Amino acid sequence: MKHATTLLIWLIFSFCILNAQNRKGDTIFRTYIPIKQYRDAGFGPLTKKDSLNFRYVKKDTLVLMPNKPRPNGRMVPYKYKDSTFLNIYAQTAFGLRNDSTDNKRTTLYWKKPLNIFFAKNIEKDVKKDFKNFVDDVLAQIDSLSVNYVNKVEASNYVIYTSEDYDYESKINKKDKSVYYMHWKNGEIDKLAMRINSEVYFSKKLQLMEMKRFFVQSLGYFRMLKELPCESYFSSCHSQEKRLTELDIEFLRYHYGYGICKGINYENFQTLHKNLKKKLKSGPNSKVYLFYPY
């Protein structure tokens, strides 16, 4: 029986495992971990035989682990995207600045449901229209959900105005409107959005800001001047913004399982380069990302 060797690489700072599988034959899983993790875990001394199976990714040496049952999780096909899309996506998702910090910048995302609390000075009509907008956004994202709560203690996403109690001490009160988020290991776990009602005095203006910040806060996306003004990912200020096809594609890709979540930019580039090379070299190959539960 023909066997197709499957390569599983655990990438540091990422939340998924890379898996490549041929369409024909059985699958043999080969799991690699960074040599530092291998030593820290106390697996014992490495032998000359071990060194024959080393793999090298950037500056990391990966060590082959003994075959063992795969952990519970979800395996999803790698989602191919062309370089034009990936370059624009990287600019907004990683907030690239074209400096020495870029490689270590990571994507941010919500893993747990958003529990949204509205402060008392958010008008009823504004809340209704905002909820409709959120529904439109979530219709494009199958791995994110939102609840609305009546107590701030039950929330992780607070929306308030400058006339309300100050729910986030780290927000600068001089700003026109702003949000502040907390995250850990790439996962956003708390956010407060403050709308300056002196500047955005009408319901329409407040709703506009809430929509704009909501999209931006789904990944701490950087707004880009290169995109059309109507896009929510554009830095251009406009009262006529809408969810464009590219906006939807960004959100689907960011929250889809065809990409490693919480990955840094350096590993993002390496991952796509290696996977595209794998697909090109094996026309009958399938490449998967494995997400442990």
Can you tell me whether residue 275 is helix, strand or coil? helix
For 18, 83, 256, the CA distances from 243, given in Å and listed in that order, are 32, 22, 18
User: Which of 247, 184, 188, 165 shows the shortest CA–CA distance to 212?
Assistant: 247
Percent of the chain past pLDDT 90, that is, above it, reads: 56
DSSP string across 45-111: ---HHHHTT-EEETTEEEEEPPP-PPPSEEEEE-----HHHHHHHHHHHTT--SSTTGGG-B--EE-
Q: How far apart are CA 23 and CA 139, in angstroms?
A: 33
Which pair of tokens denotes residue 227? 């995109």
Domain assignments of the chain as residue spans, ordered by start:
3-79+261-292, 83-255
Please report which helix (H) or strand (E) contains residue 285, including its range: strand 285-292
User: Structure tokens of 244?
Assistant: 């464009």
Tokens of 58: 């950037």
Contact yes or no for 258/76 (Cβ under 8 A): yes
Strand 285-292 versus strand 73-77 pairing type: antiparallel
The pLDDT, as a whole number, for residue 156 is 98
Q: Which letter does DSSP use for residue 222 in this model?
A: P
**What pLDDT, in 10s, does the model give residues 105-132?**
999 999 999 999 999 999 999 999 999 9
Helices (H), the chain: 35-40, 48-51, 83-93, 124-138, 203-217, 245-255, 265-281
> Given a cut of 60, is residue 21 above it in pLDDT?
no
Distance CA 208, CA 240 (A): 9
Q: How confident is the model at residue 39 (pLDDT cuts 50, 70, 90)?
A: confident
pLDDT confidence of residue 25: 44
The residue that leads in pLDDT, 102 or 75, is: 102
Task: Return the pLDDT at 284.
Answer: 65
Task: Evaluate the CA torsion angle 33, 34, 37, 39 in order and state its sign.
Answer: positive
Q: How far is residue 119's CA from residue 208's CA, in Å, rounded to a whole number? A: 17
Give pLDDT tens digits for 135-151.
999 999 888 999 999 99
The pLDDT of residue 65: 73
Which carries the bigger pLDDT value, residue 116 or residue 284?
116
* Lowest mean pLDDT across 52-61, 100-109, 275-284: 275-284
Phi, psi of 40 (to 5 degrees): -65, -30
Of the candidates 16, 211, 181, the residue with the CA atom closest to the CA atom of residue 109? 181
**Neighbouring C-beta atoms of residue 137, cutoff 10 Å:** 19
Selected residue with higher pLDDT from 146 and 279: 146
pLDDT, greater one: 38 or 118: 118
pLDDT at 265: 94
Q: What is the pLDDT of residue 142?
A: 81
267, 260 contact by CB (below 8 A):
yes
Given pLDDT bands bounded at 50, 70 and 90, which one contains residue 76? confident
**What's the rounded mean pLDDT across residues 24-47?**
67
Task: pLDDT band for 273, please (50, 70, 90 cuts).
Answer: confident
Q: What is the pLDDT of residue 29?
A: 53
C-alpha pair distances (Å), 49 with each of 54, 60, 64: 10, 19, 10
CA 10 to chain centre: 18
Q: What band does 66 get if pLDDT is binned at 50, 70 and 90?
A: low
pTM over 0.85: no
| Torsion sign across C-alpha atoms 182, 76, 271, 63 | positive
What superfamily would CATH give domain 83-255? Collagenase (Catalytic Domain) (3.40.390.10)
- Cα(172)–Cα(229) distance, rounded to whole angstroms? 27
